[in-house]
């Protein structure tokens, strides 16, 4: 028994630097969404029948373009792994709305569901034009 303890301790000690590195990498958000100005108060929900298009920018950010031209930016509550790579997601419609706190599920390239992640508030924006 005593011989196993140093081996386990060594294994844990070897894993700690890797875990610390992973935590640091997750904190370094790679935000690829274009610059935008907030143009109004955040909405808790949007009507799904009014969503015209969505643009996934990265693992944290989705823009929702509405039928009336309004553009909402949703910054997810936490990183949604592979969302920025696969750029596809699904959601379950309840009462015709999609709301902050509800989850989306990443759809992998092979059509299988991936990570599920909680939405943030829907913030109305205008994209900043670059020269």
- What local confidence, expressed as pLDDT, does residue 31 receive? 86
What is the percentage of the chain residues whose pLDDT exceeds 70?
77
Rounded-to-integer distance, Cα 57 and Cα 41, Å: 22
pLDDT one-digit tens code per residue, 28-87: 668 899 999 999 999 999 999 999 999 999 999 999 999 999 999 999 999 999 999 999
Per-residue pLDDT band for 5 (boundaries 50, 70, 90) equals very low
Instruction: Give Cβ neighbours of residue 12 (< 8 Å, ≥ 6 apart).
Output: none
The owner of tokens 């929702």 is 64
Look up residue 84 and give its two tokens: 């920025």
Would you kindly state where each structural domain of the chain is located, as residue ranges?
36-127
Rounded-to-integer distance, Cα 26 and Cα 58, Å: 13
pTM of the model: 0.76
Rounded-to-integer distance, Cα 116 and Cα 107, Å: 10
- What local confidence, expressed as pLDDT, does residue 28 receive? 61
């Amino acid at each position: 028994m005593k011989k196993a303890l140093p081996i386990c301790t060594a294994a844990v000690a070897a894993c700690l630097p890797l875990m610390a590195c992973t935590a640091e990498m997750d904190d370094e958000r790679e935000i690829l969404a274009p610059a935008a100005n907030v143009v109004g108060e955040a909405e808790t929900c949007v009507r799904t029948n009014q969503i015209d298009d969505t643009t996934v920018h990265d693992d944290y950010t989705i823009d929702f373009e509405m039928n009336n031209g309004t553009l909402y930016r949703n910054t997810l509550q936490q990183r949604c792994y592979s969302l920025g790579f696969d750029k596809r997601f699904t959601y379950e419609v309840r009462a015709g709305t999609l709301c902050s706190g509800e989850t989306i599920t990443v759809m992998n390239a092979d059509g299988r569901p991936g990570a599920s992640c909680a939405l943030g508030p829907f913030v109305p924006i205008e994209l900043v034009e670059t020269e």
